[in-house]
Amino acid sequence: MLTKEELPDCPVAATVQVIGSKWKLLILRNLLVRPWRFNELHKDLSGISQKVLTDSLRALEADGIVTRTVFAEVPPRVEYALSDLGETLRPILDAMQEWGEMHRGVADKKVC
């Protein structure tokens, strides 16, 4: 988690620094649809460890991409959602989906 001043000068490199891991991209893909609870994300993202999920969510939250809302319930409920800044990533992920469909030769559009 770098400060804005510590990010690379190259805009592409700066973007990759913030969202460039496999797991961060898949977390963002899910959060584009709706808010998710931690255990839901963990179950949906096959192969991710709890530590990596926790670290990724914390990094995305620190970068202002994800919001974490704690509900005053027993037991406490926590939801993760895209922030307004996170929503600005939608065109990037949409373009990645379109490219993946084109590359695979998939005709119908569906969210994976």
The C-alpha atoms of residue 101 and residue 56 are separated, in whole angstroms, by: 26
| 86: in domain | yes
| 81: in domain | yes
The C-alpha atoms of residue 24 and residue 10 are separated, in whole angstroms, by: 20
Q: Per the structure, how many domains does the chain have?
A: 1
| 39: in domain | yes
pLDDT the model gives residue 110? 59
| 111: in domain | no
CATH number reported for the structural domain that contains residue 28 in this entry: 1.10.10.10
Among 4, 84, 78, 94, CA closest to 35: 78
Quote the domain boundaries for residue 68.
4-104
pLDDT the model gives residue 91? 94
Q: What is the mean pLDDT of each run of 10 residues along the chain (112 residues)?
A: 72 82 94 96 96 96 95 91 96 90 72 59
Identity at 4, one-letter amino acid code? K
